[in-house]
Structures are given as C-alpha cells and as structure tokens.
C-alpha cells in the first residue's frame, strides 16, 4: 500500500464512479479498478459495493476513507512544510544582540524580516559581544549583533553593518559638560565605567588604545554588563563612560553626552558561522544587508 493507492481510493470514494475517477486521475478506468482491487486484497476487506448501476462505500470503506483523508492531509502538510523549510520560509532563528543594537538598526531588520518570512519564529537573546561569540561557536545562536572592531575568530564570519562615533557620557554637573567637544587627554583624571574584562573583548582594547594614545591609562572604577547600567552609574556620579552615539537614546536624568574632539569610530557587526547552510539564516543575512544598504 502507498499514498498513490490511498489517493485513488479517495477519488473513487468521492465520485462513486470508476470512469469519472479515472478522468480525474488522468488514467484509464481498468487501471483504477485493478489498483482498488489490489488495495482491497492488501487490506483484506472490501471497500466498495459494486453493481452495474452504482458504486457504494462499504461500512469498512467509509471508516477507512476518514483515516485515509487524514493521512493524505498530513502528507500534503508535510510536503508544504518541507518546501517552506527548503526556502527558509518556516522554522526558527535565534538572534543574539547587544543592548545598543536594539535602539536603531535591529528593529528595522526584524520588521523587514517579519514581512519577508512571517512563518519563521524569532528568538532574541540579549547578550554581551563575548557571550555571542561563544554562543555562535557552540551553536546556541544563529547570528549575533556585536560591537566591533572584532578580532578574527575561526569558523565565524563578520559583516560591519553600522559605524558611529564614540561619545563621552558625563554627569550633567561635571565641569567638562560645559565643553561642546572633549579632548581625550582631558579624561585622564576621570574614573571609567567599562564592560567586564575578557580576553576576547575588543571593546576594552579599543578604550585602552584611545586613552594610551592620549597619554594615560584609564582608571577603571566600575564594570557592568549592560550599557544601560553604565549610563545609570554615570548619572549616579560613579564615573564617566565612552559609549556609542546610539547610547544617546537612553534618556537618563543627570547624564549628558559630548563628542570627542578626536573622531573615534565604533562598529556594529553582524556575526554568523562561516559557511552557514541554513536557508533561514541566509534569508536573514540577505534581509539585513538590504536594510543596511537602504540606510546608507
């Protein structure tokens, strides 16, 4: 027994006429008759009462028809879902992101991807850049939005999707808040709020490089995972912080933002696994690139 036999049986059951069923199936009546007879032999019960005038379902045939229709519907759904999966139009994708990515670019990408692939389930994971790199290597997320610049990691692929200047987050009553632009060397005596130290963290390398070039080592007074928390600590007078321009969207009483006199750029990077084969991930990357291109 195969699904072709079930399909032919269902058509004959709907038509209750072997000739009309053969036309629907684009075959000849004797072929349909033989296959129904073979199916009945396999099942070891009769599906139809046949006479010269009419064809009727037996009681067993009526019961078998209901289950056959369920099987055919399941097969049709399985084929449809398989095709959608092959096209990357169904399934799920886990996206890692840093807090500042959700302020500008990521919402536009998610909105566009939702329109492109409405059947794909999205899972968003708020993680540090280092956590995302590890999660990508361990197959716990599919793509990640991290802060650059990044060092090359084996088996990972990086695309810069945004570049923005660094700004200084200061308490509003800070003397330097009166300046429209701040030279980095003017921060030498300040306490810095940085993100947790990790060998894979390029953010701290960047901040240290900026400070070293200005002639001093940063005095780190506090570390925090989230950029929102760093802004709150600045508001509390704990210290100052170098943050991406997008951080200005965090409206916090008692905090002001000033540009650095030296233009220092920071990147938002889209990370994925090298040679990623998933159609869903490929579709997401394509949508992200389109959104980035439109913004530029």
* DSSP track, 117-179: -TTEEEEEEE--HHHHHHHHHTTS-SEEEEEES----TTEEEEEEEEEEEEEEEETTSGGGG-
> Looking at the predicted structure, is the pLDDT value of residue 93 above 70?
yes
Instruction: Give the pLDDT score at 70.
Output: 85
Instruction: Give the pLDDT score at 183.
Output: 94
Domain membership of residue 44 as a residue range: 3-86
pLDDT category, 88, cuts 50, 70, 90? low
Of 86, 101, 128, the position where a domain reaches its end is 86
Q: Give the pLDDT confidence of 31-57 residue by residue, as tens digits.
A: 988 988 998 888 889 989 888 788 898
Per-residue pLDDT averaged across 213-239, rounded?
91
Mean pLDDT: which of 42-46, 81-85, 88-92, 232-236 is highest?
A: 232-236
Co-location of 74 and 152 in the same domain: no
Those residues with Cβ within 8 angstroms of residue 35's Cβ, 6 or more apart along the chain or in another chain: 4, 5, 8
Q: Six-digit token pair at 240?
A: 């100052």
Co-location of 111 and 75 in the same domain: no
pLDDT category, 201, cuts 50, 70, 90? low
Co-location of 168 and 265 in the same domain: yes
Co-location of 50 and 180 in the same domain: no
pLDDT category, 89, cuts 50, 70, 90? low
Instruction: Give the pLDDT score at 153.
Output: 63
Co-location of 24 and 161 in the same domain: no
Between 154 and 208, residue with greater pLDDT: 208
Co-location of 37 and 121 in the same domain: no
Co-location of 196 and 51 in the same domain: no
What's the domain count of the chain? 2
> Looking at the predicted structure, is the pLDDT value of residue 2 above 80?
no
Co-location of 237 and 163 in the same domain: yes
pLDDT category, 281, cuts 50, 70, 90? very high
């Amino acid at each position: 027994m195969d699904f072709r036999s079930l399909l032919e049986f269902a058509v004959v059951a709907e038509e209750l006429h072997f000739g009309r069923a053969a036309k629907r199936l684009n075959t000849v009546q004797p072929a349909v008759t033989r296959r129904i007879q073979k199916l009945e032999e396999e099942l070891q019960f009769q599906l139809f009462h046949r006479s010269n005038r009419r064809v009727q379902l037996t009681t067993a045939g009526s019961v078998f028809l209901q289950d056959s229709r369920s099987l055919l519907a399941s097969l049709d759904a399985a084929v449809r879902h398989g095709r959608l999966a092959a096209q990357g139009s169904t399934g799920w994708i886990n996206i890692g992101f840093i807090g500042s990515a959700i302020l500008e670019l990521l919402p536009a990408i998610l909105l566009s991807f939702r329109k492109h692939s409405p059947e794909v389930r999205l899972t968003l994971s708020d993680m540090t850049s280092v956590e995302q790199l590890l999660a990508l290597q361990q197959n716990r997320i599919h793509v990640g939005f991290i802060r650059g610049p990044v060092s090359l990691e084996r088996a990972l692929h990086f695309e810069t999707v945004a570049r923005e200047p660094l700004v200084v987050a200061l308490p509003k009553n800070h003397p330097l808040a009166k300046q429209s632009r701040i030279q980095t060397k003017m921060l030498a005596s300040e306490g810095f709020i940085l993100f947790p130290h990790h060998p894979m963290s390029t953010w701290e390398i960047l901040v240290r490089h900026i400070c070293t070039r200005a002639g001093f080592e940063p005095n780190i007074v506090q570390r925090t995972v989230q950029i929102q928390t760093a802004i709150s600590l600045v508001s509390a007078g704990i210290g100052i912080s170098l943050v991406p321009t997008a951080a200005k969207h965090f409206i916090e009483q008692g905090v002001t933002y000033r540009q650095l006199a030296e233009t220092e750029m920071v990147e938002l990077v889209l990370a994925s696994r090298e040679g990623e084969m998933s159609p869903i991930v490929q579709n997401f990357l394509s949508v992200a690139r389109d959104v980035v291109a439109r913004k530029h």
